[in-house]
Amino acid sequence: MEQTARELTTVRLRAAYRLLRDLGSGSYGRVLLVRPRAQSSAGRPPPAALALKLLPKASTPFTSFLREFTVGRCVSSHPGLLRTLPPPLETPKLYGFMQELAPHGDLSSLLEDGKGLPERWLKRVAGQLAGALDFLHGHGLVHGDVKPDNVLLFDASCRRVKLGDFGLSRPEGAPAAAPVGPLPSAPPELCLVRPPDTLALDPSLDSWGLGVLLFTAATGRFPWEVALAPDPAFEAFATWLNAWPPQEPPLPWSGFSPAALTLFRGLLALDPERRRPPLTVLEALEADWGVERGGESGGEEEEEKRKEEEEDLGDGESSLEEWTDEEGTGEGDKTTVPPPLLRAESDRRPEW
């Protein structure tokens, strides 16, 4: 991290990038679609649009920003994990870094209440996420926030998806605080934590998150609001898991095939020590899951890539809080052209 801190590049955003549109925001900050203002050579296409993630310095500890950037860089070699591009950036008020653009948004955009993905698409998502999580776990990391919003789409029918947002990713064994408010994807052992207590992160947390995500992607809704009693949906599920002799699953679980139910039993085991790893998904990909809802119509007939300039939010002149409010930025001490983005095969990775 010390090396990464030394490589932090100060940049004037409005001078270095053209703002295209807002991709999303949350408590962490916001993600913007931008295009570098670098002049293209004759005969070469203009620079590709990228996703710029910005985090306010006022609410983001420097070490947290560096951790997220460093984890993103260290796992960028895997095809199922969103690529983070160097260098890390800063303005007087913001930290930031570039990520590759997912032109079709995130998985939640495909889901409607009560209507999930076709089974073929669902299995594509399942297999790719299982491989991505296995890679993270093999490198001693826990993602910690597996949910539809963090699954990025690179085509209209889930043939290529990537897991992103490493803001909560930590080494296995690192302390994890209780979620703020009800979080459907959090496992029971994490929901039981009360401040100032913490829970040691374990890969089983991601197995649970994957199980909840697959249910949500299949049905278009979360299985429960929180994985604790007295949530009635969770209580019904837990009663079914613990029943002996085995009972018929409650609604809506009864709509899944035996193979899918076996998969859910493994990923969503109440005891984290008995929870199956994400690669368990691969054992069930050839079986019927009982969630087929049509074929390939619709998505594959869409454009392969969305128009990246649907809405120009100001072209560096105004809007979006005056392009992140660079008030007080000097003219002579800031980068006014985009810093070079190093190619993955040639850059020097920061040490973990």
pTM for this model (two decimals)? 0.86
d(CA 12, CA 337): 8
What span, in angstroms and rounded, lies between the C-alpha atoms of 341 and 352?
A: 20
Q: Which of 39-53, 121-135, 241-255 has the lowest mean pLDDT?
A: 39-53
- The dihedral region occupied by 233, where left means phi > 0, alpha psi between -120 and 50, and beta the remainder, is alpha
Looking at residue 229, its pLDDT comes to 92
Give Cα separations from 175 to 125, 168, 190, 200 (angstroms). Answer: 29, 11, 11, 5
What is residue 179's predicted lDDT score, i.e. its pLDDT? Answer: 86
* Known binding-site residue numbers for ATP: 53
pLDDT over 70 at 254, yes or no: yes
Distance (Å, whole) CA 113 – CA 219: 8
Q: How far apart are CA 97 and CA 350, in angstroms?
A: 14
Give the confidence band of 323 by pLDDT, cuts at 50, 70, 90: low
Q: Which residue has better confidence, 291 or 162? A: 162
User: Does the pLDDT at position 71 exceed 90?
Assistant: yes
Catalytic pick among 145, 165, 202, 206: 145
Q: Is a pLDDT exceeding 60 seen at residue 203?
A: yes
Average pLDDT score over residue span 177-200: 92
For residue 191, the SS3 value is helix
Of 226, 86, 109, whose CA–CA distance to 156 is shortest? 109
Residue-range domains of the chain with CATH: 1-38+47-101 (3.30.200.20), 105-292 (1.10.510.10)
- Can you give the pLDDT at residue 349? 32
Sequence-ordered list of residues with C-beta below 8 angstroms from that of 230, at least 6 positions apart, any chain: none
pLDDT number for residue 39: 64
In the predicted model, what is the mean pLDDT of the chain?
86
145 tagged catalytic: yes
Between residues 191 and 332, the one the model is more confident about: 191
| Residues annotated within a binding site | 53
pLDDT tens-digit readout, 325-345: 654 444 434 555 566 554 333
